[in-house]
Structure formats: C-alpha cells, structure tokens
Amino acid sequence: MHGSILRHLTILSAGLISGLSLMASPAAADIEVSFSAGQIEGFTITNLDACPLENTTIEIDMRPSIGGLVIDTEAGPPGLNRAQAFGVLFGEDYLSQVPVVRDGGDKIVLQVRDLPGEEFIMLTMDTDHMKLGGGAVAFTEHIEDGTVIIGDNEPVTFDAGGFALIPGGDCVA
C-alpha cells in the first residue's frame, strides 16, 4: 500500500515540476501561414502565440510552388480568368501599408508593423496556376513548395495542405 502511495506522489510531483518548468520557459511566437483556394482564395497569416510580431517583413513566394501560382488582378493575360483585385480582408491595421501586388505577380511582401499574439491577417485574391497544365482554377495543393520568409530567417516551405509553420524567436509572454 505504501509503495502505491509513494508511486502516485512521485508521478504527481514530477508533473508539478514539469508544469512549473514549462511556465518559466520563454514562449516561442510561432506564425502559421495558410493558403486556401476555392470560393475565396488567399492567405491567412496567424500569430499562434501571445507574443507580438513587430516591425518585420513577411514574404510569400509562389514561384517555387508546384502549381506555379500567379496573382490574377486584371482581365487578360498573364492571368487566365475571373480576375479579382488583391485585398486585405482583415488585419490591415497590423500592416505599415497595404502591399502593391501586380497582375501576374508571384510574390507578396507584407510590412508588418505589429501583429498581436493570437491575431491574424487575411488576404484575398484570385490565383491561377501556370504549371501542371495551367488553369484558371487553383487548388490548395498548388501552393506546395512555395515559401514564406519572415525577416532575415530561412525560408519555410508550404506543405500539400497549404500550411507553412514558421517557428518564432523566444519571448516572454
């Protein structure tokens, strides 16, 4: 009986010590960038942590994507169909300025002033794919192998599900 109680106390104290060490650890401000194709196409940049992302750039590069995605903002080439103006649906206040995106462009550079923790920026646009036979209808998986760079960090690649997770630096939340 005493062995059983001792074992439970050991497990409980180990969990308590582990929990305290997690509370004392600095938090990483992870950023998730996701691409969605369909009725509303675009990117969502989400700060997954409580730490803000401040005074930096976020560069989304679609050139290396398996679909060779381009932004279609005007009727006619280089886009293929259903042109749509580029826009910031949510989070414009977190940017220093709305980026200029040209028709046929394959890169978006955001100047982030202050993206608070657990907030997001949502961009909308029409994208067409120039590889894989080309087409006016882009699919989420067409962004695979596209990249995201935050500040001077190394590029992170989008997966087939349209996600790129960029681990942030340490900060105390």
pLDDT tens sequence across 106-132: 999 999 999 999 999 999 998 988 887
Which of these, 130, 138, 145, lies nearest to 60 by C-alpha position? 145
Q: Where are the domains of the chain?
A: 27-171
Element (DSSP H or E) covering residue 146: none
Written as tens digits, the pLDDT of the chain (173 aa) is: 444 333 333 333 333 333 333 333 333 459 999 999 877 799 999 999 888 999 999 999 999 999 999 898 887 776 666 778 899 999 999 999 999 999 989 999 999 999 999 999 999 998 988 887 666 778 799 999 999 999 999 999 999 999 999 987 666 55
Q: Which pair of structure tokens corresponds to residue 3?
A: 């062995």
Letter for the amino acid at 173? A
**What's domain 27-171's architecture?**
Sandwich (2.60)
Tokens of 70: 């381009």
